[in-house]
Chains A and B, each alone.
Chain A
C-alpha cells in the first residue's frame, strides 16, 4: 500500500508526516451526502481529483488554524459495499474522521455503528464527529436526540448540504481537531503497520 512506485503520488501516505499537512476522511453510507457536503464547504474553490480505482475523491484545501496555514486533504470515500477492500487505505494516517448519516433513512443511522467499529480498529484515537445531514428535508429531525454520538462521546452536528446549515462550522471544527491531534497523537497503529510493510517488502525481495 505504501511502497514506493506502487502508489499514486497524491496518495503517498508519507506526505502526511509533514507538520503542516493533515488528512481528513469522510465516511458513511451511499447517498448520505458526503460529496455534497464537501462541495458545499469548498464551493468550487478546488478541482477535486477522482481516484476511481480507490473509489475516492481527493479534495485539497488550505486552511488557517491559529496563525498557521495547513494543507488539508479530504478523502471523500464511496459508501458502496464493493469498495470495502479499499477501506484500510482510507484510514491509514488519517487525522480526523467525519461520519455522515441521512436523517431521512434510518438504515444509514444504524450503519454508523459498523463504520465506527471499523474506524476504531484502524484509528482507535483520532477525533471523529457524527453528522446528521439533510435537515432541510425535515426540520423536525433537529428536535430528536440521536443517541449514537452521545454514547460514544462524539460531537454531533445537524447540517444541510443543500441550504448550508452548519456545514462550514462542522468542517472548521474538524480541521482544528485534526491539527490538534496531529500535534499530540496517541495512535500507534501506523508505526506497527509500517513495520509490517517493511517486513512484507523485505521478504518479497529475499
Chain B
C-alpha cells in the first residue's frame, strides 16, 4: 500500500496528529486523525515521535513524514499542555538569520533545527534513492565570483 502525505498538523483535543494523505492506488485524498495517547506535558517528544513513526497501525501512512516533523508536532502539542499559546509555540520555531544560536539551550536549539529540517529533508539525497551518488564533486569556478557583502565591514580577522 502506498500513501503520500500531503499535509500534517495537530488537533489539541483530544491531542492528535492530523494527516492529509493521498492513496496512490486510488489517487484519492484522505484524512487520518491519529490520537496521541499517554503523552503529557512532561513527556519526551523525541520518543513519542519515534514510537508513533514505528507504530504498526500508522507507520505506512507516516512513511513520507519525517521524524523531525513528527517531533515538531509533538512539541506543539506539549507546549499547549504547558499552557503556551499556539502563536508563542510557533514563534519558537521561527528562524531569524541574525540570531546567535550558540546562546540557546538544548530545547530552543532543537526547535530551530527542527525548522531547518524542512528544507534539509526536501533537498536531501538519500542513500537508498536509486540515483544516489556517494561522491558528488562540483567545481565552482572562482572566475566569475563576486565579492561577498559579508566581507564589507573590516573587523579583525577578516
Bound together:
yes
Contact yes or no, A163 B125, CB < 8 A: yes
**A165 CB, nearest partner CB in chain B, Å:** 5
Contact of B150 among A29, A80, A106, A168 (CB under 8 A): A106
Assuming the contacts A29-B101, A36-B120, A113-B156, asked whether A165 and B146 have C-beta atoms less than 8 A apart, the reply is: no
Contact yes or no, B158 A143, CB < 8 A: no
Q: Which of A57-65, A86-94, A146-154, A198-206 makes up part of the contact surface?
A: A146-154
Query: Is the contact region of chain B dominated by helix, strand, or loop, or is it mixed?
Result: loop
Contact yes or no, A167 B97, CB < 8 A: no
In the bound complex, residues from chain B placing their C-beta under 8 Å from that of A174 are: none
**A79 CB, nearest partner CB in chain B, Å:** 5
In the bound complex, residues from chain B placing their C-beta under 8 Å from that of A43 are: 127, 134
Contact yes or no, A80 B102, CB < 8 A: yes
Q: Does B145 contact A (CB under 8 A)?
A: yes
In the bound complex, residues from chain B placing their C-beta under 8 Å from that of A193 are: none
Contact of B145 among A105, A107, A143 (CB under 8 A): A143
Assuming the contacts A80-B109, A143-B146, asked whether A164 and B101 have C-beta atoms less than 8 A apart, the reply is: no
Query: Could you tell me which residues of chain B, from 97 to 144, have a CB within 8 Å of some CB in chain A?
Result: 97-104, 106, 109, 112-113, 116, 119-120, 123-125, 127, 133-138, 140, 142, 144
B-side interface residues toward A, CB under 8 Å?
97-104, 106, 109, 112-113, 116, 119-120, 123-125, 127, 133-138, 140, 142, 144-148, 150-151, 155-158
Please give 11 more A-B residue pairs, beta carbons under 8 A apart, in addition to A31-B116, A144-B150.
A43-B127, A107-B98, A107-B100, A110-B155, A110-B158, A116-B157, A144-B145, A162-B119, A162-B120, A168-B136, A169-B135
A-side interface residues toward B, CB under 8 Å?
29-31, 36, 43-44, 79-81, 104-107, 109-114, 116-117, 136-137, 142-148, 151, 158, 160-169
